[in-house]
Amino acid sequence: MTTKNNISELLPEVQFPKKMSTAWCAEAFEELATAVDWIELGTDQMTPLQRQVWERYKKQTAQFAEDMLLAEGDRNAIIRRLGFDSRKS
């Protein structure tokens, strides 16, 4: 598995948001990208365990971004993927 270090590889770019929630997510993704890029500058100062935690955080952040966009675009797919009760969604 290839490690993704560049934030553009981790967070989706929302080019043409169709809903307000997508526009809000796009703005949040930009803020996250800035924070991730800033932290990346200091990874050489991290302990090996901190780097592992950092890599885990980036993967979780990328999954969150994908889930948010999927939840807007394909309600049934995200319900299945996350195991949510479709009667409550």
Altogether, the residues listed in the chain come to a count of 89
In this prediction, residue 27 carries a pLDDT of 84
pLDDT tens sequence across 19-35: 777 788 788 888 888 99
For residues 19 and 75, give the distance between their C-alpha atoms in angstroms, rounded to a whole number.
14
Mean pLDDT of 48-59: 95
In this prediction, residue 55 carries a pLDDT of 95
Q: Which two tokens stand for residue 80?
A: 């299945």
Q: Which two tokens stand for residue 16?
A: 């043409």
pLDDT tens sequence across 54-89: 999 999 988 888 888 777 777 787 788 788 877 766
Comparing 13 with 41, the larger pLDDT belongs to: 41
For residues 14 and 34, give the distance between their C-alpha atoms in angstroms, rounded to a whole number.
15
Q: Is 3 left (phi over 0), alpha (psi -120 to 50) or beta?
A: beta
- This prediction has a pTM of 0.67
